[in-house]
């Protein structure tokens, strides 16, 4: 049984409202942090906790906080990244919807630590109803003296503003998010300068994921050291996993990162196994951008050891035999699933979401999608598989922001581990053409290949 730090109270009746949340021990961390700790002590505590950013890249949060520039007389900002657009990832939504005060509480403490008097929640436009939930929680916190001027008489002022995005995946990338918050087209900025030096309105800014900021609450409550004892190695604390695909119990689970992948998929506490007794074929364990792993490499590492649900174990061996924890969007594929089709679907997503600033991503994502479409629909050539491999290789690492990598990795991993499936499509065109998934939108005329 995993320890629960974030969702422990999520099912308490009425926890969405301040009174219940407070009665259950809410906002203690604000009192503790603002009254008994200084900003530096909070940053120290977060460092000690070993908390890694939960938005995907896994960068240590305390270290990120300590990088923030502190020029005299220049305001600083904290921005909460609630854009959550990675296919397969829906954990932040759950947290904000069911226990919104936890995020608000984390934001107040973090704003105090970073010296942000104006903090922003940039939320995915499609989460319209959650905006209302958050705004209500903010209003309640303000009514009770936890937000606004002179919080708890400590002299610290803080406002939280909620801003809706317009539904672009790229606006989850931190610098594109900042551009969008400033009212501009959501194109990623070229780094450096990093947001910690010049972020929102050119002021020092920290961007953190919803879950990261919520985790600050238990860290302050129990202390960084205690927090670091949960989990294993550099994967400390608990992690929210959104599980979907061919599993009996899709949903959001809070795990401490000591359980094995096998336990996560098959035990009744989590995914509850695969429906209809089907076999496990593959899994994308960290949201759509991370490499897919076939069953044999998913349950065991390349060295034959048990694979665990944590940063190190999932990444074991690099991309040739490992994958990434990513944002925790766990997508399971049973034996009936077609990897080529899945890869096409992902390629289609990345082509559509590329901001179009840099040539390799703008042109490469579209090209990959077209080739994958040819292969999937039985119009491919064997050389197309090598071409795909070469295209993804020329995108990866050569773009402004990691969306290029996110588009390249799924294709690379699919070819690496499931090349035979791509070949099957090419060698059995009639059978490939006969397969009908009932997905009419793929007949989109813009993408009809010329070579068909």
Partner 1 sequence: MSEQLFKVTIDNITIEVPPGTTILNAARKIGGDVAPPAMCYYSKLEGSGGKCRTCLVEVSKGSEKDPRPMPKLVASCRTTVMDGMEVKNITSERVVDARAGVVEFLLLNHPLDCPICDQAGECHLQDLSYEHGKEATRYEFQRRTFTKHDLGPYIQLHMTRCILCYRCVFTADQLTKKREHGVLDRGDHSEIATLIEKSLDNDFIGNVIDVCPVGALTDKTFRFKNRVWFLKAMDAHRDCPTCSGKVTLWNRGDEVYRVTARKDQWGEVEDWICNTCRFEKKKTSDWVIEGPRLINRHSVISQGHYAGSVGTVKPTETFKAVNDGRQPRLLMDIHDISEVNQPGTFLSEIERPAHSTDFNSKKA
Ligand X SMILES: Cc1cc2nc3c(=O)[nH]c(=O)nc-3n(C[C@H](O)[C@H](O)[C@H](O)COP(=O)(O)O)c2cc1C
Binding site for ligand SF4 (CB under 6 A): 170, 188, 354-358, 361-362, 399-401, 403-404
Q: Which residue number has the CB closest to ligand SF4?
A: 361
Task: From the list ligand X, ligand SF4, partner 1, none, pick the one residue 57 interacts with, judged by a Cβ distance below 5 to 8 Å according to partner type.
Answer: ligand X
Does 351 contact partner 1 by CB under 8 A?
yes
Task: From the list ligand X, partner 1, ligand SF4, none, pick the one residue 326 interacts with, judged by a Cβ distance below 5 to 8 Å according to partner type.
Answer: none
Q: Can you give the C-alpha Rg of the chain in angstroms?
A: 23
Among 398, 419, 423, 424, binds partner 1 (CB under 8 A): 398
Q: Which helix (H) or strand (E) holds 283?
A: strand 280-284
* Shorter beta-carbon distance to ligand SF4: residue 4 or 362: 362
* Shorter beta-carbon distance to partner 1: residue 150 or 451: 451
* Shorter beta-carbon distance to ligand X: residue 116 or 209: 209
Among 84, 140, 179, 316, binds ligand X (CB under 6 A): 84
CA torsion sign, 143 to 144 to 147 to 149?
Answer: positive
For the record, the structure tokens of 205 come out as: 């800014």
- Rounded to an integer, what distance in angstroms lies between the CA atom of residue 261 and that of residue 300? 9
* Shorter beta-carbon distance to ligand X: residue 91 or 373: 91
* Shorter beta-carbon distance to partner 1: residue 114 or 344: 344
Among 81, 357, 392, 399, binds ligand X (CB under 6 A): 81
- Residue 417's SS3 state is helix
* Shorter beta-carbon distance to ligand X: residue 322 or 402: 402
- Rounded to an integer, what distance in angstroms lies between the CA atom of residue 360 and that of residue 351? 11
Task: From the list ligand SF4, partner 1, ligand X, none, pick the one residue 59 interacts with, judged by a Cβ distance below 5 to 8 Å according to partner type.
Answer: ligand X
CA torsion sign, 293 to 371 to 334 to 325?
Answer: positive
* Shorter beta-carbon distance to partner 1: residue 208 or 354: 354
Q: Which stretch binds ligand X (CB under 6 A): 4-12, 96-104, 395-403, 428-436?
A: 395-403
The site for ligand X, by CB under 6 A, has a size of 26
CB 5 → ligand X: shortest distance, Å? 16
- Rounded to an integer, what distance in angstroms lies between the CA atom of residue 286 and that of residue 303? 21
Letters for 26-55 (x = contact with ligand X by CB under 6 A, - = none) are: ---------------------------xxx
* Shorter beta-carbon distance to ligand X: residue 17 or 319: 319
**Listing from the earlier edge strand, what are the strands of the sheet with 205-209?**
148-151, 156-164, 116-123, 76-82, 205-209
For the record, the structure tokens of 297 come out as: 């490499």
* Shorter beta-carbon distance to ligand SF4: residue 65 or 350: 350
- Residue 333's SS3 state is strand
Among 59, 129, 201, 437, binds ligand X (CB under 6 A): 59
- Rounded to an integer, what distance in angstroms lies between the CA atom of residue 344 and that of residue 356? 19
Task: From the list ligand SF4, partner 1, ligand X, none, pick the one residue 224 interacts with, judged by a Cβ distance below 5 to 8 Å according to partner type.
Answer: none
Give φ, ψ of 226 to 5 degrees.
-60, -40
Of 425, 415, 409, give the one whose Cα is nearest residue 377. Answer: 425
For the record, the structure tokens of 399 come out as: 């773009």
Query: Which contacts of 317-320 are long-range, i.e. CB under 8 A and separated by 24 or more positions?
Result: 319/291, 319/409, 319/412, 319/413, 319/416, 320/416
Does 209 contact ligand X by CB under 6 A?
yes
Does 111 contact ligand X by CB under 6 A?
no
CB 320 → ligand SF4: shortest distance, Å? 23
- Residue 71's SS3 state is coil
Letters for 172-201 (x = contact with ligand X by CB under 6 A, - = none) are: xxx---------------------------
Does 302 contact ligand X by CB under 6 A?
no
Cβ-contact 323, 410 below 8 angstroms: no
CB 52 → ligand SF4: shortest distance, Å? 23
Cβ-contact 257, 58 below 8 angstroms: no
Cβ-contact 93, 60 below 8 angstroms: no
Of 206, 188, 124, 109, give the one whose Cα is nearest residue 406. Answer: 188
CB 353 → partner 1: shortest distance, Å? 7
- Rounded to an integer, what distance in angstroms lies between the CA atom of residue 429 and that of residue 313? 39
Pick out residues in 352-371 that bind partner 1 (CB under 8 A). 352-367, 370
Among 68, 170, 309, 415, binds ligand X (CB under 6 A): 170
Give the pairing type, strands 238-245 and 156-164. unpaired
- Rounded to an integer, what distance in angstroms lies between the CA atom of residue 418 and that of residue 410? 11
* Shorter beta-carbon distance to partner 1: residue 158 or 355: 355
Give φ, ψ of 164 to 5 degrees.
-85, 135
Residues in contact with ligand X by CB under 6 A are 53-57, 59, 61, 64, 81, 83-86, 169-170, 172-174, 207-209, 212, 401-403, 406
**Binding interface with partner 1 (CB under 8 A):** 168, 170, 185, 190, 351-367, 370, 387, 394, 397-400, 448-451
């Amino acid at each position: 049984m995993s320890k629960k730090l974030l969702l422990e109270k999520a099912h308490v009746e009425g926890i969405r409202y301040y009174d219940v949340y407070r009665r259950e021990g809410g906002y203690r961390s604000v009192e503790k942090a603002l009254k008994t700790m200084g900003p530096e002590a909070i940053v120290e505590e977060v460092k000690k906790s070993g908390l890694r950013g939960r938005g995907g890249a896994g960068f240590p949060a305390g270290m990120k906080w300590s990088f923030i520039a502190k020029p005299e007389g220049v305001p600083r900002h904290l921005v909460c990244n609630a854009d959550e657009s990675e296919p397969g990832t829906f954990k932040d939504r759950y947290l904000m919807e069911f226990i919104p005060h936890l995020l608000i509480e984390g934001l107040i403490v973090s704003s105090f630590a970073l010296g942000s008097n104006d903090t922003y929640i940039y939320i995915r436009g499609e989460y319209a109803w959650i905006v209302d939930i958050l705004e209500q929680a903010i209003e309640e916190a303000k009514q009770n003296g936890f937000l606004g001027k002179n919080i708890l008489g400590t002299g610290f002022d803080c406002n939280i503003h909620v801003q809706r995005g317009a539904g672009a995946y790229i606006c989850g990338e931190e610098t594109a998010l900042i551009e969008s918050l400033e009212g501009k087209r959501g194109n990623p900025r070229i780094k450096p300068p990093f947001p910690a030096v010049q972020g929102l309105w050119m002021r020092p800014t920290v961007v953190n994921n919803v879950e990261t900021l919520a985790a600050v609450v238990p860290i302050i409550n129990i202390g960084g050291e205690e927090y670091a004892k949960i989990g294993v190695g550099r994967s400390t604390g608990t992690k929210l996993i959104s599980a979907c695909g061919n599993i009996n119990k899709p949903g959001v689970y809070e795990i401490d990162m000591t359980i094995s992948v096998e336990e996560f998929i098959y035990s009744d506490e989590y995914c509850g196994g695969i429906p209809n007794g089907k076999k496990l074929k593959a899994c994308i364990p960290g949201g759509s951008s991370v490499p897919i792993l076939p069953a044999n490499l998913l349950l065991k590492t390349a060295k034959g050891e048990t694979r665990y649900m944590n940063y190190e174990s999932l990444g074991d061996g690099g991309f040739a035999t490992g994958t990434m924890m990513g944002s925790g969007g766990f997508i399971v594929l049973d034996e009936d699933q077609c990897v080529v089709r899945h890869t096409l679907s992902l390629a289609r997503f990345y082509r559509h979401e590329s901001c179009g600033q840099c040539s390799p991503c703008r042109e490469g994502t579209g090209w990959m999608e077209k080739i994958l479409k040819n292969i999937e629909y039985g119009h491919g050539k064997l050389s197309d598989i090598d071409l795909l491999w070469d295209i993804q290789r020329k995108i990866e690492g050569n773009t402004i922001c990691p969306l290029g990598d996110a588009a390249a990795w799924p294709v690379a991993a699919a070819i690496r581990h499931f090349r035979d499936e791509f070949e099957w499509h090419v060698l059995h065109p009639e059978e490939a053409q006969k397969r009908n998934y009932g997905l009419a939108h793929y007949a989109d005329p813009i993408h009809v290949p010329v070579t068909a």
